[in-house]
Amino acid sequence: MKAAILKGMAVLGMAALALGANAAFANAQSLLERADQGEPIRIGFANEIPFAYPGEDGSPKGFVNVFTIAVLNKMGYENIEPVQTEWGGLIPGLNANRFDIVTGGMNILASRCENIAFSEPIATVGDGFIVAPGNPKGISNYESLAKSGAIMVTGAGYSNVEQAKAAGVPESNIMQVPGPTEILAAVRAGRADAGAGTYFTMKQLADSSGGAVEVTDPNAMPESSLNWAGIGFRKSDQDFLDKFNAAMKEYIGSEEMLAAVAEYGYGEASLPGDRTTEWVCANR
């Protein structure tokens, strides 16, 4: 009996080792290999209207999701799985293999380029503020924030934090919250004088606030605050990214693409122009 038990344990141990080996093999496969085998491509995003957010049924909405899914479809991939997370979890989640692509509407920044690989730019993104009606503190750009001593609220990990600090806004005057909902709540409650984010997002918050806040003029922002958004990939998936960029080149700016993203406020003025990811990584 003892020998039989030991034999059974040995068989179970061998099975466990086999399962572990299979799991390790799956993890070692690249995104391109897994996608070509029909496995789901997992897209990760936060709740960032109008860039990327979950619909009421959990389906991926927003112009970055719509854009990315269209490009993946043109590459021949239709098995796509949405994964929602907090904004601050996007880059860590990508590198921890919790999803395969970041579609959150992320600005390409030098600090981010150190950790992940970006597609070529998909949009030009300017900054904006939401403020109380009438803009009582006269906030128009980061320099006016610094001079007025105003409290700015923005999302944790947003590029606006770096912009504000560069303009002289002390860290003690920068409030960081999870995302847009909390930014709006802080300004409405008077806990912050200005909410900062992309103009896309800040305008959407102002439009949805029923007049509780207004959005500032994005043209008052310095050129240095202009950013370019891209799609994020693991650096180890460069082969897939190369294919994605090739398919994207044929799609971006087309009538088909502009019609697909129009409902989210993306128009011809939002196209990225001739800036490359290499340039943006070196200059932002």
pLDDT in tens, 173-209: 999 999 999 999 999 999 999 999 999 899 889 999 9
Q: What is residue 22's predicted lDDT score, i.e. its pLDDT?
A: 42
Residue 23 predicted with pLDDT over 60 = no
Residue 3 predicted with pLDDT over 50 = no
Q: How confident is the model at residue 2 (pLDDT cuts 50, 70, 90)?
A: very low
Residue 232 predicted with pLDDT over 50 = yes
Catalogue the long-range contacts made by 202-205 (C-beta closer than 8 Å, 24 or more residues apart).
Answer: 202/128, 202/129, 202/130, 203/128, 203/265, 204/49, 204/50, 204/180, 204/265, 205/130, 205/180
Share of the chain above pLDDT 90, in %: 78
Tens digits of residue pLDDT in 151-180: 999 999 898 999 999 999 999 999 999 999
Alpha-carbon distance of 146 to 157, in angstroms, equals: 20
| Domain spanning 127-225, CATH class | alpha beta
- Topology alike, domains 40-124+229-283 and 127-225: yes
Domain spanning 40-124+229-283, CATH architecture: 3-Layer(aba) Sandwich (3.40)
- Domain locations along the chain: 40-124+229-283, 127-225
